[in-house]
Amino acid sequence: MHPLKKPTATNALLLMTLLGAATWVQAAPVAGTVIHLSGPLFVKKLDGSMRVLGEQSGVEVGDTLSTQGKGYAQVRLRDDSLLTLQPGTVLSVDTFAYDAALPAADALVFTLKHGGLRSDGGLLGKRSQDRSTLITPNGRIGLQSASVVVYYQPAAVVATRASSRLKSLAVGLASSAGQADASYTAFVAAVSARYVYRLGNVLASAESWAAQGSASLVQVATEFASVLPAPLAPSSPPPGLFVQVLDGVINLTNGGGTQSFMAGQFGFTPSNMTPPVLVPKNPGISFTLPTTFLLPSGAPDATRQVSVPAAVDCQVR
């Protein structure tokens, strides 16, 4: 009987350790709660599992949120700040610490990997303005207590979308050129053929940019302007990081320098090593909230018409 005592004690100790570790993993701090949805919201947990969140689902430190399709999501953080994600956005909650009685421990750090969001500062930003940070591939934004729209798209995403649009346009023009008969003038046929040829060259360039994961603003703007007639020119912003300050002041810092932006101003930087600059007018970014987000979170479902049922929190295996 004596030889069994040591392994049994060891196993019991190991089991207690594992249970303690499991409890620790599950006890990630809650940063906020999903209060509005207009489409699917996925979260990747620290353990690698994927879940679908619904209204009233908790968002924990370490979560990576992603919106899909045309869906928006709004999260109220514990300091009453708001974070609203637009479609096609990926954001990680790296750090969030707020206690009304412990201002010295205040900390807020998010990372925007791509897409767009609106941040409306809360109590943490008001009392600890230098401890609210949004990290992006093109720079770090000191959010303070401001209301700001941030939009970031990597060059590869923009080039891929451009490639798709050019393909569709080239097919349409080729069809027009091929059908040039009595209902099409020789002029239309010639112009169509010309654009098909030139689009082919730009299409090859766009696909190359996407494959390399890089494309310069000059390349995109020059190539598109030289090929597409004005009514067909793309209206979406070029690759890079854009900011729009709705209220308050923010600071954008990267390897090229630091720039502050105030309410009503727009900023842009195409890379992490290019100094942020003030843009004189809206470069094409937009952030329009669904009408259901403007209603109180407790409004009846009949008036809110939210597409995702409340309290959904499913694990995707």
CB 54 within 8 A of CB 37: yes
Cα–Cα distances (Å) from 152 to 24, 163, 233, in that order, read: 34, 19, 21
Length of the chain counted residue by residue: 317
Helix ranges (DSSP H) in 139-275: 155-178, 186-212, 217-227
The label of the residue with tokens 């999501």 reads: 73
| Helix 217-227 × helix 155-178 angle, to 10° | 10
pTM for this one?
0.67
pLDDT of amino acid 284 = 82
Residue 77 near residue 117, CB atoms below 8 Å: no
Burial class (CB in 10 A: 0-12, 13-18, 19+), 108: buried
Full pLDDT tens readout for the chain, 317 residues = 555 455 555 565 555 555 554 444 455 899 999 999 999 999 999 999 999 999 999 999 999 999 988 899 999 999 999 999 999 999 999 999 999 999 999 999 999 999 999 999 999 999 998 999 999 999 999 999 999 999 998 875 554 445 555 555 555 555 555 555 555 555 555 555 555 555 555 555 555 555 554 444 444 444 444 444 444 444 556 789 999 999 999 999 999 999 999 999 999 999 999 999 999 999 888 888 888 887 665 555 444 443 334 444 555 44
156 with 210: CB under 8 angstroms? Answer: yes
- Give the span between the Cα atoms of 254 and 275, in whole angstroms: 7
> What's CA 144's distance to the chain center, in Å?
20
- Radius of gyration, alpha carbons of the chain: 25
Instruction: Report the distance separating Cα 236 and Cα 282, nearest Å.
Output: 11
Task: Give me the residues paired with residue 37 across strands.
Answer: 73
Contacts of 9 (CB under 8 A, 6+ apart): none
Structure tokens at 37: 């949805």
Residue 285: predicted pLDDT: 83
Residue 252 pLDDT: 98
> How much is the pLDDT for 12?
56
For residue 109, what pLDDT is reported?
Answer: 97
* Angle made by CA atoms 250, 253, 259, in degrees to the nearest 5: 60
Q: Are 74 and 82 in contact (CB under 8 A)?
A: yes
CA neighbor of 240 nearest in space, from 268, 275, 221: 268
Q: Which backbone phi and psi does 159 adopt, to 5 degrees? A: -65, -40
